[in-house]
Structure 1
Amino acid sequence: MKMIKVAITGCTGYTGKKLVSYLAAHPMVSGMDLYSFTSAGKPFDELVPEMKGVVSPDLMVSHIDSLTAEADVYFLALPHGEAAKLAPKLVEAGKVVIDLSGDFRLDEASAYDSWYHFTHPSPELLASKSYALADWEGPSGSALISNPGCYPTATLLSVLPIVKAAGASVISVATSAGSGTSGAGKSANPDLLLSEMDGNVRAYNVHQHRHEPEIAQQMKKAGYDGLFSFTVHLLPLAVGMYATTSVFMNRSFSKQEVDGWFQEAYQNKPFIRLRSVPPQISWVNGTNFADIHVSVRNQSILIFTAIDNLVKGASGQAVQNMNLHFGWEPFLGLQSTGKQHVSVY
């Protein structure tokens, strides 16, 4: 198999640093170029001291304005609105682009005006991109891969097996989820100070979170276009995400039936672990796993899902999507534990 060269933009952000750590150890990556808006001209291991000895001391960070088309794969870990400016020229140059921002997740350009508050500069790419939930359908072969958001990853992995198996019986879907503060990025924000978040939990962006239309869009594609409620909370954690999704059906289903839907959906998905009890964030942090538990009572189905918001919810899934795009094993570069297949225990 041919090895590839990768480039990472936004390399010193939380997701960017994770990408560097995974790709530095990836057996099919021969080299990487790093780019940043704010940290150009310095060695990466000086900017990110925990990477000393992991990457070469000669690995320098360049300014994004000097971005070249010399790599094979480009990971765009940039603020919303920036990837949409860079992606067109990279796609035109024949490169594989994996975007970790929200810039290509929605199908309709008009939705960006209302949900992201910018006019999309490349609406033609919205139709050709591949929205790649790695443990569901994954990338479709498009050179532009849109990595799902963290909340959509946890929510869609929870509900899509039900929609696929019994979508016509679903009356409503409601998700209540919480995330560590790293999901907001590294920009200074007084609301995210330790003194504000320690021992504290609060809902935010109620009825206006950008991930809501993304989730609704993908459920509709899968066959459900009904009632959907989505509420998110900040947790007093740096990393981790927990989603509780309640699906109300028009008739009762047995636990055995519903477990069968999830087993069938995830039987060949090495990063999905079906649990016999509700998962805990500590079980998944630092990994690319999604741990899922399903509880059934009469017409109510409850799904509990835990992920690492920076790994499965961002960088780990992006590397997994690269692996799938090239036909490699999904766990390459993502730790040997990724070889464990679905199990109930």
Structure 2
Amino acid sequence: MKSNTLRVALIGSTGYTALEVARLLLVHPQAELTVATSRADEGKPLSEIHPSLAGRCEIALQPFDPDAIAKQADVAMCCLPHGASAQSVKELADAGLRVIDFSADFRLSSVELYEHWYGVTHPWPERVGNVVYGMPEFFADQIATADVVANPGCYPTSAIMPLAPLVKAGLIQTTDIIVDSKSGVSGAGRSPKLGTLYCEANEQIAAYSVASHRHGPEMQDLIQRISGSEVEVLFTPHLTPMDRGILSTIYVRPTDAAGSTPEAIAEKLMATLRQTYLGEPFIHVVDHLPSTKHVATTNHVQMTVRVSGTSNRPGRAILVCAIDNLTKGASGAAVQNMNVMFGMNQSSGLSG
């Protein structure tokens, strides 16, 4: 390892997001995975848990010891589930590490909102609402100096990206926002569950957590933070028989400020999105309809706008956004945040 290489610790190494972090760090020119932990598989090489890493990443899994980890790493990526993550993040931060947390434990703006939706008592309540949300497109300056970064949720990324700029610009109504999202099975994690078994998930598409999914409040909370306007978001997720990817189709009503014909509204909304993301390396406002194949295994986002109705009576605007749930929706976003935190090019290790 070169003396100036950023050392990365992976906390909770058995899931898909951990594998994706390891995969991305293998090609990162300025960072290297130096620590990986697992309570259940201590002593095993990481490649035994993730065979695709065989011959490329053979570090042995360690127990969780924040002080020992702090001697071997500069930043920790915490891939633990909500509820379990916050205490580990606190201990890592207390040991002097900068931390990127993959769970929802620090994403929301209030303890009350978190405990209502996640049903657990938060172990570090004083930091809730005081941790920067890990979306460099909006919060890069805060991320650059943060000790803890809350990595965004996958579904929220696909909704916040197209919605927040349009709400902020006053171009869409804030009380009638419908987000309809389809996700690959990897979004449910690697632990066996009945609904994600092959015979259950293959050859079908199914809605789940209707009117009760925890990512709905995250979408609403972050759009409000970015735009300064209160919004109401109705979110419905669907499980689709593919490995990875999210496609969100979002239905909104334009305001009078957006224009008076479908063509004018579409042009205004597209121009606003393009101006918002001008110079952002991963956000692409496109004329074609995005699909999950267009962004698979990358940190890129594609989005577009269509508007229904006639020239005399415009209807809804339809925003379509595609991301890879494991990359821009999780591990790629974490690497992008890490790059910002340590003054590197946002695209380092993510150029594919």
Fold match by TM threshold 0.5: yes
Q: Mapping of 1:134-153 within 5 angstroms? A: 134-138=136-140, 140=142, 141-153=145-157
Q: What corresponds to 2:346 in structure 1?
A: 330
Q: How many residues align?
A: 334
Within 2, Cα distance between the matches of 1:270 and 1:157?
14
Q: What corresponds to 2:51 in structure 1?
A: 49
Q: What corresponds to 2:277 in structure 1?
A: 266
Structure 2 gap ranges (5+): 309-313
Q: What corresponds to 1:242 in structure 2?
A: 247
- Counterpart pick for 2:223 among 212, 219, 227: 219
Q: What corresponds to 1:206 in structure 2?
A: 210
**Distance 1:46-1:108 versus aligned 2 partners, 3 A rule:** same
Q: Deviations over 1:313-332 (max 9, x none)?
A: 00000000111122211110
Q: Is the 8 A contact 2:7 2:74 kept in 1?
A: yes
Q: Is the 8 A contact 2:99 2:149 kept in 1?
A: yes
**SS in structure 2 of the partner of residue 80 of structure 1:** coil
Within 1, Cα distance between the matches of 2:172 and 2:307?
18
Q: What corresponds to 1:62 in structure 2?
A: 62
Question: 1:282 aligned to 2:298?
Answer: no
Q: What corresponds to 2:36 in structure 1?
A: 34
- Counterpart pick for 1:320 among 308, 314, 336: 336
Question: 1:77 aligned to 2:79?
Answer: yes
Cα displacement (A) at 1:48: 1.5
Within 1, Cα distance between the matches of 2:301 and 2:102?
18
Q: Is the 8 A contact 1:170 1:249 kept in 2?
A: no
Within 1, Cα distance between the matches of 2:141 and 2:290?
27
**Distance 1:129-1:116 versus aligned 2 partners, 3 A rule:** same
Counterpart of 1:157, as a letter, is M
**Distance 1:310-1:168 versus aligned 2 partners, 3 A rule:** closer
**Distance 1:43-1:168 versus aligned 2 partners, 3 A rule:** closer
Q: CA RMSD in A?
A: 1.8
Within 1, Cα distance between the matches of 2:296 and 2:189?
17
Cα displacement (A) at 1:3: 2.6
- Counterpart pick for 1:121 among 112, 120, 123: 123
Within 2, Cα distance between the matches of 1:167 and 1:109?
31
Q: Is the 8 A contact 1:288 1:312 kept in 2?
A: yes
Q: Is the 8 A contact 2:14 2:50 kept in 1?
A: yes
**Distance 1:139-1:125 versus aligned 2 partners, 3 A rule:** farther
Q: Deviations over 1:35-60 (max 9, x none)?
A: 012221111122221112322x3x11
Within 1, Cα distance between the matches of 2:316 and 2:342?
40
Q: TM-score, normalised by structure 1?
A: 0.92
Cα displacement (A) at 1:106: 1.0
Within 1, Cα distance between the matches of 2:214 and 2:151?
14
Percent sequence identity over aligned pairs: 34
Cα displacement (A) at 1:170: 4.1
Q: Is the 8 A contact 1:180 1:241 kept in 2?
A: yes
Q: What corresponds to 2:311 in structure 1?
A: none
Q: Deviations over 1:133-153 (max 9, x none)?
A: 133333612210000100000
Q: TM-score, normalised by structure 2?
A: 0.90
Within 1, Cα distance between the matches of 2:14 and 2:214?
24
- Counterpart pick for 2:176 among 169, 172, 178: 172
